[in-house]
Amino acid sequence: MSLGLLEEFGPERIRDTPLSESAFVGAGIGAALGGMRPIVEIMTVNFSLLALDQIVNNAATLLYMSGGQFNVPLVIRMTTGAGRQLAAQHSHSLEGWYAHIPGLRLLAPATLEDARGMLWPALCDPDPVLIFEHGALYNAEGELPDDAGEVDITSAAVRRTGGDVTIVAYGGTLRTALSAADQLEGRGVSAEVIDLRCLRPLDDATILSSVARTHRAVVVDEGWRSGSLSAEVSARITEGAFYDLDAPVARVCGAEVPMPYAKHLEDEATPQVADVVAAVEQMGA
């Protein structure tokens, strides 16, 4: 998405920085405090750990620490997820870690419309926004309508309606969930697919409303199962829709291993369509 921007807008607006995440995220925070609306691009979510202090201890807290005097209107984009054989230092899904932090808004576009339309409202937000872009979606192609504009960055989206089970996904796992729903339809199971879109704050209402209709839920998350975003979603379903459930909430997550390089092992370590279908069938949908 940044290809050609330097040539178009020049070095005053586009800064090709040294490869120091702490430094250039810190510069972005400073620019935001100075009245600008910077976009900081981090190559992968793994590398964002080198700027963890800047993101968690500064960007997320300065509004509170200043008694409401200083907003930090900063947008940070980063690549997340596996599927491209980039091994254990470039392939993990760590957005669940950031979803733990008050003061941040987290977005995960899964469609062309969202990838384009989330950026402007993110820039208009007075507080820090982190956009997690799944690397496997970068080559996705399609036609945007002529009137395509900004999209809602506060709500989940129902990408497919159904009555037998709710499949909750986001980012790179949305395609997996939709493909699983197609297979399930051929087996007589009607699956509703929810795209979270905004990972913090979560849109509980859309999720719980769907579960109240379907009475079953499967959460698909490429991140590790322990302490994951899927665990949070599962907990909220259990807290808010326990008596609507006809089966325990199921989770389909990444294997708890460093991401392998070999393609067949990478596939084994990430949620696949067959895994989602099996999870739905095991709960008797």
Note the pLDDT of residue 143. Answer: 87
Q: Does domain 157-282 have CATH number 3.10.20.440?
A: no
Give me the pLDDT at residue 140, please.
87
3-state secondary structure of 71: coil
pTM across the whole model: 0.95
CA distance 149 to 151: 7
Residue-level pLDDT at 8:
84
Three-class secondary structure of residue 77 per DSSP: strand
What's the CATH architecture for 5-137?
3-Layer(aba) Sandwich (3.40)
Strand partners, 219: 168, 251
Q: Where are the domains of the chain?
A: 5-137, 157-282
| Tens digits of pLDDT across the chain (285 residues) | 577 888 888 887 888 888 899 999 999 999 999 999 999 999 999 999 999 999 999 999 999 999 999 999 999 999 999 999 999 999 999 999 999 999 999 999 999 999 999 999 999 999 999 999 999 999 888 888 888 889 999 999 999 999 999 999 999 999 999 999 999 999 999 999 999 999 999 999 999 999 999 999 999 999 999 999 999 999 999 999 999 999 999 999 999 999 999 999 999 999 999 999 999 999 987
Task: Identify any residues that bridge with 211 across adjacent strands, giving them in sequence order.
Answer: none
3-state secondary structure of 271: coil
The pLDDT, as a whole number, for residue 1 is 59
Fold match between 5-137 and 157-282?
A: yes
- Packing angle between helix 273-282 and helix 173-186, nearest 10 degrees? 50
Q: Do 39 and 77 touch, CB atoms closer than 8 A? A: yes
> Residue 217: which of 169, 179, 268 has the closest Cα?
169
Active-site residues, by number, are 21, 90
